[in-house]
């Protein structure tokens, strides 16, 4: 069983819909991430949360809105998406510490999103 769980695993939404992706980590980590994997691009970082505070926004369009209520939960709110936003969205977590050599990022199974 993975330490990072994502729901839903599959989502089909229209361009005018509003939906959310949910992620929960059971590893006691203090940092959580959203990555995007689309067919034509390598895996790319979208957002980083460290102790519930957003520390990185990798030039992501505002139609993607992250929320991190605590260090175990992470959401990605979606609204007015485009068909090109169809992709696999992967949540991940890690323990950021001064001993950065300990920092391994663990991923969930991903949410397959299709925008129609």
Partner 1 sequence: AQKVTQAQTEISVVEKEDVTLDCVYETRDTTYYLFWYKQPPSGELVFLIRRNSFDEQNEISGRYSWNFQKSTSSFNFTITASQVVDSAVYFCALSEESNTGKLIFGQGTTLQVKP
Residues that bind partner 1 in the complex, under the rule CB under 8 A: 2, 31, 33, 35, 42-45, 48, 50, 55-56, 88, 90, 92, 94, 96, 100-101, 103-110, 112
Strand partners, 74: 23
The three-class DSSP label of residue 101 is: helix
Cα–chain center distance at 69:
14
Give me the least distance between CB of 15 and partner 1, in Å please.
23
Give me the least distance between CB of 16 and partner 1, in Å please.
26
45 or 60, CB closer to partner 1? 45
Can the peptide bond before residue 25 be classed as cis, meaning omega within 30 degrees of 0? Answer: no
């Amino acid at each position: 069983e993975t330490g990072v769980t994502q729901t839903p695993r599959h989502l089909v939404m229209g361009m005018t819909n509003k939906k959310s992706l949910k992620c929960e980590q059971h590893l006691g980590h203090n940092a959580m991430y959203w990555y995007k994997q689309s067919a034509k691009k390598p895996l790319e970082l979208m957002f980083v949360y460290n102790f519930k505070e957003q520390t990185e926004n990798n030039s992501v369009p505002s139609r993607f809105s992250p929320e991190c209520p605590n260090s175990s939960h992470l959401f990605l709110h979606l609204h007015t998406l485009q068909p090109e936003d169809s992709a696999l969205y992967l949540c991940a977590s890690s323990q950021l510490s001064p001993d950065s050599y300990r920092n391994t990022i663990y991923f969930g199974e991903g949410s397959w999103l299709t925008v129609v």
